[in-house]
Each structure stands twice: as structure tokens, then as C-alpha cells.
Structure 1
Amino acid sequence: MAEEKKIEGFSNIKFTASGLLLEAKLKTGVPLKITRAVIGTGYLDDGEDVANLTALKSEIESHQTGVTSSSATVDITNVSVVAAGMTNLRLKIKNGDTPFYLREIGIMAQDPDLGEILYLYTNCGNGAQAFPVFDGSNHVYRTIDFLNIISNASDINVNVTLNNEVTRDDFETHKTATVLDHPNGCVTTEKIADSSVTGIKIKDSAITLAKLNNDIHTKFDGLEKAIQKINSTKKIDLEYSIGQGHDGYIIVVKPKVNYIARKDVSGIATYPLQSIDKCYMYICYNYDSDSISLVCFTTVSGRGPQPPDDYIFSAEISSSSDCGDFEYHRLIQKDDNGDIVAVM
């Protein structure tokens, strides 16, 4: 006996911080390699940010078709690029030797520096799907489509472990259609008789120019915002040194943005004249000019200027013990208000 259904109810699939870091690397021409999908039973904690995940909350053992194992089977059965930067994935999941509730799914990818990472994640919370133990006859299959995965990759390599798979839903829909069509698009204009599509067949003005314009505008607005979010992600790497000079602390910063070295910036924070005063340094990033700058100052009678709006790192310098060579690494992004926020 075999039971096959399509899964609904999962939340929108989201990037992890490691996934966003990989997205930044894809801009440099690194190909996207999706290696496999993993499943689990875990809940997200209240307010928990998917970006902070490096693994599923509670992963269950699984394998792909072609691997000898009695655990649950999780295959990527289809991948299609629907538009520039937008990909659809289909998964097929089959029960194994342990019962479980399918609550979370992760998409794994290969990072050229970190190895295999948790790239994308989704969780259906209380809408988990039950999978019984496979007893030799009760095959239970579930399929799920991840739609509109937006990526910077110009080259996508997906490890499809179960090719040419047609779900029962696909087959039944195709078999019972009044007029058969095919998902490969073979019913072309040349195969539709002249004047066969009439106003009667388009009932109640189902397709109007206004509706098409509105639908297209809505889709492109959402796509544009998602692409802007990805493009605003920057990998910041800073090597900086603090030393003592004749008149103050000498600060030198060697910055990189998205792995590309930028011009060194330097400055001097004059030594304070009173014990209550301190020296401060602010390393800033300007999105508009794509540039790194350094602001140094010393308070006077405990007072100093306001920190710059675009600073990404700050430090207080109060004595020679604060001198030395240091590093700072961070992934930053613009939020919906245009403010710089750290995502990793």
C-alpha cells in the first residue's frame, strides 16, 4: 500500500546567516551547489531568528535514494529556474524505520570556505506531518515545493537524487483534465486552432489588462525588495592596529569589503588632558560611496561629539593596554528603514 500527498503549510523558506554569507560570495562568481535536503522534528523558540541557525533544531536520520539505509528517504526530485535569480525546488520524503513528525526542513549547500552549511530553513510549527514506521508495505510519500528561492548565483548545481519523478497529484490532475496539457509546454500556439479561444471561454473577464498589470506589478515589487535586501549585504573584514605616538594614539585600519581590499585609513586620537577623558575610534561604512572611513576623537571634560550614523565598529582607548593588532569580521545589511544592521 502506498500513500502519497503534497505537503502544504510550511512557512516561507528563509536564509540562515551562513546562507547570506554564501550569497555574498556568489556575487564574485562562485557557483551555488545545493547538496541535499534534511528534515527534523524541532520547534523554533518564540522570537528565534532563523539567521542564527547552523543546523536543524532536532534533525532526524535520513538518506538519499541510492544509499543503503533503512532511515527516512529525502530526495531532491526536480529543480527549475523560473526566472533570473529565481529557482524552484521539489522534495520527496518517504517513511523509514522510525516514526516521526515532519516539522522542519533545511536545504544544505556547499560553501567554498566552510564546507557544507545550512543554507535555507523552514518550519511549519504545529502543522507537522506524521510519518509512521515503514512495516514493509505501508509506503508513505510526501512532496513539497519550495517556490521562488531568490539567489545571486549565476551558476546553480543541484544534487538531484531522484530524477523523472511524477507525483500522484500531478498524475491525477493530468489524467482528469478535460483537455490534456503537458508541463513541458508542448501545447504551443501552433497546436491551438485559430479562433478557438473566445470570449465565452474567458468567463467573467477573468483575464483583463488591469489585472495582469496589477499582478505583474505586485510580483516585481516583491522580487525587487528581495534582491535589494540581498544586494545590500556586505562582508566586512577589518585588520586594525592601535599604537602610541608623540601626540596621541595612532590608529591604522586595513579594510576589505566583500573580500576586496580597500585603501587603508588612519587617524590620531590625541592623548586626553584629564583623567575623566577618553579616546574613541569609530570605523564607518558608507553604502552610497561604498567606502570605509575612520573617525577619532578625545572627550573634553567628559564630553565628545555624537557617534557617526554609519559606524559599524567602535572602541574606547584609555591606556597602553588597549594598543595592539586586532581583527573584526562582520556581515552587515540595510534594514527596511535604511539603517545598517549586523546579520552575523
Structure 2
Amino acid sequence: MDYGYKITTHGRRLLAACLDLGRPLKLTRAAVGSGLIGQDEDLAEVHALVRYAAEASIADRKHEGDRLFLTVRYSNQDHPAAGSFLLSEFMVWAEDPETGQETDLLYATLGDHRQSVPGYSRHFPASVWSYPLVLVVSGELQVSITASPGLATWEDLLALKEELIRSIMKDELALPLAAGDG
């Protein structure tokens, strides 16, 4: 399974209510978990972590134009009682502008890229996991999912290799003769 995240069906209703009422999006919290969802399960229909592990934080929130940038961050130092676990999912919640109640906004899975999280010990430096997200507000029916750099499956690398070989064979790939420094 691939890494991915999606605004949930509750999150879409929440965003529509924010736009309709002219109220800002109020993110309330984030949490991480160690659960797995089925290969064919729609991320938009997941409304709770499969296996809750600990609270996380929302960091580096900003917006530029039609994009909302935020980072879900987990630090084992902030949650020493959580112990060790395999981080494989996270969720972000927001306040519903109509009811004032907290509801799920988005769900993310790390898919095959689960991360082993050690329990906190004062004898070792804190460990921090950061997952940057970009939400794009658009009138088009196009979905864009951006993953952190460095997350690639073996199949992705093989597909890229085949694409490069085809481009070279068709003489569609131009390689520079010199690097930028000469």
C-alpha cells in the first residue's frame, strides 16, 4: 500500500460549512496510531484511528494562496508513557463551525512505510517524526497528493528506471554536458 492522505467525508462537510458561514478552519488536534487499513479501503471513509497510540502536534501551519501547509509532528519526549510502537497512521481533527464539536478532517496512512517509534528514555535524545501536508483548495476535480521526499516504493523506482530507459532509447532525454560548476 502507498503512503497517502485524504480529507474525510466529515472533513469535506466541515470545509463546506466554513466556506458557507465565512468562518476560519480551526484545527483542534492530531494523533498518531499503529493500525492498518485494508488495501481497497477509501481513506475518506476512515473516521477514527484504527489503533490509537498517542497525541501529536500540528506545526508549521501557514497558507499561501489556495494552499494550506501544515506538519503533523510526533515527539516521543512529549509522550513518555506511550512506549514503543509502529507509527503507521495519523489523523487531524477540526472544530465544526456549525456545532462547535470536534470532527475528523483528514486521515493518513504510511502504507508500507511504517516507522518504528522507540519509547522515550532520558538517556537518549528525543526522537521526532514530521509529516508535512499540503491541502489545495480548488474548483477542479483533480486531486493532488504530495508525499515527503524520500518515500518511494521498489515498484516506483523500477517504473522510473523503465521510463528513463525508454526516454534515452527514443532520444527524448537531454543530458547536460557539464555541471553547473564547470
Deviation by residue 1:133-160 (Cα, 9 ceiling, x = unmatched): 112122111222112x124xxxxxxxxx
Instruction: Report the alpha carbon displacement of residue 114 of structure 1 after superposing the two structures with TM.
Output: 6.1
Instruction: Provide the residue aligned with 2:3 in structure 1.
Output: 11
Pair 1:30-2:23 in alignment: yes
Contact 1:150 1:227 in 2 (8 A): no
Please give the secondary structure, in 2, of the residue aligned with 1:57: coil
Contact 2:84 2:117 in 1 (8 A): yes
Please give the secondary structure, in 2, of the residue aligned with 1:21: helix
Instruction: Provide the residue aligned with 1:110 in structure 2.
Output: 95
Pair 1:123-2:115 in alignment: no
Gaps (5+ residues) in structure 1?
1-8, 63-73, 152-222, 229-344
AA aligned to 1:93 is Y
AA aligned to 1:123 is T
Percent of aligned pairs with the same amino acid: 25
Contact 1:150 1:226 in 2 (8 A): no
Q: Aligned partners of 2:141 and 2:28: how far apart in 1? A: 24
- 1:1-344 alignment, distance < 5 Å: 11-28=3-20, 29-62=22-55, 74-83=56-65, 85-95=66-76, 96-97=80-81, 98-112=83-97, 113=99, 115-138=101-124, 139-147=126-134, 149-151=135-137, 223=138, 225-226=140-141
Question: Hey, which of these two has a bigger chunk of strand by percent?
Answer: 1
AA aligned to 2:57 is D
Deviation by residue 1:9-41 (Cα, 9 ceiling, x = unmatched): 973321111001112212211321011111111
Please give the secondary structure, in 2, of the residue aligned with 1:54: coil
Instruction: Report the alpha carbon displacement of residue 89 of structure 1 after superposing the two structures with TM.
Output: 0.3
Q: Aligned partners of 1:89 and 1:105: how far apart in 2? A: 13
Q: Aligned partners of 1:31 and 1:227: how far apart in 2? A: 24
Deviation by residue 1:88-147 (Cα, 9 ceiling, x = unmatched): 002321113310111111111001326111101110122111111112122111222112
Q: Aligned partners of 1:105 and 1:76: how far apart in 2? A: 11
> Against the structure 1 CA distance between its residues 80 and 114, is the aligned structure 2 distance closer, same or farther, given a 3 Å change threshold?
closer
Q: Aligned partners of 1:227 and 1:115: how far apart in 2? A: 30
Instruction: Provide the residue aligned with 1:214 in structure 2.
Output: none
Gaps (5+ residues) in structure 2?
144-182
Instruction: Report the TM-score when normalising by structure 1.
Output: 0.37
Q: Aligned partners of 1:135 and 1:122: how far apart in 2? A: 28
Contact 2:47 2:107 in 1 (8 A): no
Please give the secondary structure, in 2, of the residue aligned with 1:32: coil
Contact 2:86 2:115 in 1 (8 A): yes
Q: Aligned partners of 1:32 and 1:93: how far apart in 2? A: 22
Deviation by residue 1:187-221 (Cα, 9 ceiling, x = unmatched): xxxxxxxxxxxxxxxxxxxxxxxxxxxxxxxxxxx
Q: Cα RMSD between the aligned structures?
A: 2.3
- How many residue pairs were aligned? 136
Q: Larger radius of gyration, structure 1 or 2?
A: 1
> Against the structure 1 CA distance between its residues 10 and 38, is the aligned structure 2 distance closer, same or farther, given a 3 Å change threshold?
farther
Q: Aligned partners of 1:135 and 1:10: how far apart in 2? A: 32
Question: Hey, which of these two has a bigger chunk of helix by percent?
Answer: 2
AA aligned to 2:73 is K
Instruction: Give 4+ residue runs of structure 1 displaced > 6 Å after superposition.
Output: none
> Against the structure 1 CA distance between its residues 224 and 25, is the aligned structure 2 distance closer, same or farther, given a 3 Å change threshold?
closer
> Against the structure 1 CA distance between its residues 102 and 52, is the aligned structure 2 distance closer, same or farther, given a 3 Å change threshold?
same
> Against the structure 1 CA distance between its residues 10 and 136, is the aligned structure 2 distance closer, same or farther, given a 3 Å change threshold?
farther
Contact 2:71 2:130 in 1 (8 A): yes
> Against the structure 1 CA distance between its residues 46 and 87, is the aligned structure 2 distance closer, same or farther, given a 3 Å change threshold?
same
> Against the structure 1 CA distance between its residues 36 and 226, is the aligned structure 2 distance closer, same or farther, given a 3 Å change threshold?
farther
Instruction: Report the TM-score when normalising by structure 2.
Output: 0.67
